[in-house]
Amino acid sequence: MNRIIALDMLRGYALVAIMLDHMPDSALRRYTLSNFAVFDAAELFVLLSGFLVGLVWLTVETRDGRRAAQWRFLRRAVQVWLALVLGGVLMALTSRLLFELDMPHTAIWSQYARWVIENPLGYIGTLATMWMQPNLLDVLALYVVVLAFVPLTVPLLKRYPWAFAAGSALMWYFAEPLNAMLPNHRSQGGMLFNPFGWQALFHAGVAMGLFRQQFMPVLRRHARLLTILATLIMIYSLGLAQLWRHGPEIKQYWEVLRAPFGAINKWSLDPVRFTAILAAAWLVAVPLSGLFARLAGTALGRALATIGRGGLVSFVACVILSVLGDALMNMNGDPGWSRSLAVDLWTLGALWLVAELNARRSTRSRQPNRAGA
Are 47 and 206 in contact by the 8 Å Cβ rule? The answer is no
pLDDT of residue 373: 34
pLDDT of residue 263: 87
pLDDT of residue 368: 62
Sites in the chain below the pLDDT cut of 70: 1-3, 368-373
pLDDT of residue 1: 46
Sequence length of the chain is: 373
Are 234 and 276 in contact by the 8 Å Cβ rule? The answer is yes
pLDDT of residue 3: 64
Supply φ then ψ for residue 354, to 5 degrees. Answer: -60, -45
Among 144, 125, 87, smallest CA distance to 320 is for: 87
pLDDT of residue 336: 86
Q: What is the pTM of this model?
A: 0.94
Among 359, 337, 339, smallest CA distance to 347 is for: 339
pLDDT of residue 363: 84
pLDDT of residue 370: 43
Are 283 and 227 in contact by the 8 Å Cβ rule? The answer is yes
